[in-house]
Chain A
Amino acid sequence: MTGLTVLPLATLVGPVSVAHYLVVGAVLFVAGVACMAVKRNALGVLMGIELVLNGANVNFVAFASPYLQADGARSLGLDGQIIALFVILLAAAEAAVALAITLNFYNNHATVDVDRADDLKG
């Protein structure tokens, strides 16, 4: 139980480490999830998705950075950065398609409220 309750939060006060980035990534990720959960506007949901992807990207970059790693620790190296790049690219593609869908939805239903998009409800 100690691992769950007593977090080594003190680390965050020290020099910048991977853990710092991880916390920032967690904040972005959770904010993105919350954004998807809360926003009724389809565009808000899309923004939440962007945030989630960014949170993941922060983690990739952190793991890939020898600058943040302790000496001798293993890092992803260049691979992490390249994956982050791919994520950015795919996010762009996703944004384009999602926006097109949103516009279509708007054209058909005259709204961007995702709560109204329940035609397939059981």
Chain B
Amino acid sequence: MDPAVRLPLLLGLAWLVPLASFVAILFFGPRMGKHGKNAAWVATAAIVTSLMLSLMAAGTWLAVHPVTAPAHGHHGDAHAAAGQDEHGGHAAGHHGHAADAPPAYSGDWYTLYQGGKLKLSIGWYIDSLTVLMFVVVAFIATCIHVYASGYMHDELHDVTDHEVHLSTGGHLHRPGRFPRFFQALSLFCFSMFGIVIAGNLAMVFVFWELVGICSWFLIGFYYERKSASNAANKAFIVNRVGDFGMLIGLMALWGALGTLQFTDMFAAVRPAPDHALVVPASMTNWLLFIAGVGIFCGCVGKSAQFPLFVWLPDAMEGPTPVSALVHSATMVAAGVYLVGRFFPVLSPDVLLVIAYTGAITLFIAATIALVANDIKRVLAYSTVSQLGYMMLALGVGGWVAGLFHLVTHAFFKSLLFLCSGSVIHACHTNDMRKMGGLARVMPWTAYTMLVGCLAIIGAGIPFVIGLSGYYSKDSILAQALSFAQANPRHSVLFYAVAGGAALTAFYMFRLWFMTFAGEPRDHHVHEHAHESPTVMVAPLVVLSVLAVAAGWTIGTFGIANLLEQARPAGTAEGLTGGFAFGQTLTYPAEHLSHAEAIHRAATWTAFGTALAGVALAAVMYLWRLVSPDVVATIFRPVYAFLAGRWYFDELYKAIFVVPALGIAQLASGADRGIIDRIIDGLAWTARGLAGIDAWIDRTLVDGLVNATANATWNAGIALKRLQTGRLRQYVVFIALATVALFVLASLFMRVSHAG
């Protein structure tokens, strides 16, 4: 079958199956077995079906477009350098030779509205990135569905929530919500697939919001807990801030280009044949900038970038499978995915904004993670930090590097979260200070988590082999270094990446050492700890295998090369331009970062920083040569600042929440004091008028009507007397009337004749 027909069919089905599962559980969930136990099977079956369909789609894709090594030999460094000078100061870099468009299939299933060029449709845009994302999302979701069916077993019977204190002094006792959890998971998978397959930005936006609402459902799953419902609201509201920017971007694009279809937008901004970035006639530099930054704003919210990252750590209030699926592997990846998908339209200035946002995010999050004691929060800040890496990679022109890291990160971060979930399941606490020595009681969890930690810090034997993070992180470092060399003023970006790598290594191994190594700190916790059931451990093993191997390139087949297939037309050439910051920016082509010098430097930097971080962690937490408490005391202000999470929450509270509440109070006061008064006054007036009206109605109108009725009645009574029933009287009346009639008639005629 033609892949242009087959791919949309397979991926469309994979997209819709979770929706069917959602609908089924929504309506029949509570009736699926005891306490809805079978809802887990329904949802898991649906996501496994999606995985199978995605894999079939991947097979179809690979059969038509076999993965080959990237071919960039036809132009070299000298050529790129020459191009930089030709077009300096111009928004678009232009290299003057034709580039091939990547293989992609695009079309519409259903058109909601079409008027002129404007078109709203449900459609698809499928390239290798789409297929890859489908497989990754479906695969991780499958693991997490399986894991959650074990993790959520508490919800199969009535639950006493010890974290909710009722006013009566007891704890909340409620029925289990097992089906509800899987229902939301299914809806989430549907929404995430929707973002990935979407053929236009409007559809992306719709599913973007659907993902947001799923996130709200899942974070607030224990909605009786004040913290959970607050966290859900926070996530939702903070995301709205980003979506506001996204809407501006959408409007700018629609207004200027008249279309939101990816293919049309790409064609407008990067016209054939060479696909170099040009500003369309209907746009200005600034409008293109605003559109790009606007779309990026949405990604900032969704992918938890500075300054909107505050929601993600709080989102850990949700059940751990949710944290793993939604807030590490997939949903937050949506922002990165969208930046990658939208990459061709982004101008150099926007990319710089993205890069700096990513750098700030990765640094802030990594520093906070250094001192966090909640195991899930460490991972949450780690996620934020890694997302910052991806954004930074995209922002310095590393399209493949950023998305490659997105995929590998999805594997090892979901692994890490599931491991932490396993630990929490065993210890019934999130606090790492109460753990320690758990490796002995739960070895599977401990060593799979070690694999995850090694993967995230990019461990490997330099130039030989490494875990998945080794490859993706190295490519990011290389691209950052390449960029820093091309733009010395922005070399801070490279240092951020390098420093971030060290911090990552430190906090990840701090986590592992505190949790699994050493002696138990809390014997009560330790005694009750146990290895998790098979249904929870199996996904850990599967994911750890992928966390190791996802980055490998076997022959020419590898995720990096697969992504290279989807590289947007024209972006292989590098980019030169910039106007917004008063300087010319040069984005070196990504393949240049594979150059021997850069690659070697980047690899050694990564290896060195990671090793340093691990070593420091081991010194402080494994061998305890330096007491962390002493360090904390020495650097007390810094420690407090970091432990206070840079006081972002307090800052936002002071800047936004308190004024908003104040304004709300003011508005409420105005509402009560002025508007309510006016309305009450109006109501009183109306009531008074109604009273008068009622009086008029009763007295005049009713009186009139009653008077008429009474008159009629009385007349009837009076006339009744005439009906005596006496024959003789009637005869007299008749005769009398006849006489009277004649007399009157004659009189009348006489008068009328006389007149």
Contacts and interface: CB of A to CB of B under 8 A. Distances in A.
**A–B: direct contact at CB < 8 Å:** yes
A33 B723 CA distance: 20
B728 A37 contact: yes
B725 A119 contact: yes
B725 A121 contact: yes
B724 A121 contact: yes
Contact of B728 (A4, A40, A119, A120): A40
A122 B725 CA distance: 8
Interface extent on B, as a size class? Answer: 10 to 19
Interface string A1-23: 00010000000000000000000
B723 to A, nearest CB: 4
Interface in A24-55: 33, 36-40, 45
Contacts of B746: 4
Contacts of A33: 731, 735
B726 A38 contact: no
A40 B728 CA distance: 8
A118 B726 contact: yes
A116 B727 CA distance: 10
A111 B442 CA distance: 123
B725 A36 contact: no
B731 A36 contact: yes
Contacts of A121: 723-725
A119 B726 CA distance: 10
A94 B486 CA distance: 134
A121 B411 CA distance: 105
Contacts of B731: 33, 36-37
A45 B735 CA distance: 15
Contacts of A37: 728, 731-732, 735
A43 to B, nearest CB: 13
A98 interface: no
B34 interface: no
B727 A114 contact: yes
A71 interface: no
Residue of B720, B724, B728 with most chain A CB atoms under a 10 A cut-off: B728
B725 A118 contact: yes
A83 interface: no
Contacts of B720: 122
Nearest to A4: B746
B716 to A, nearest CB: 9
A117 interface: yes
Interface in B104-137: none
Interface in A84-107: none
A120 B731 CA distance: 17
Nearest to B732: A37
A122 B728 CA distance: 16
Given A33-B731, A33-B735, A119-B725, 11 more contacts: A37-B728, A37-B731, A38-B728, A39-B728, A40-B728, A114-B728, A118-B724, A118-B725, A118-B726, A121-B724, A121-B725
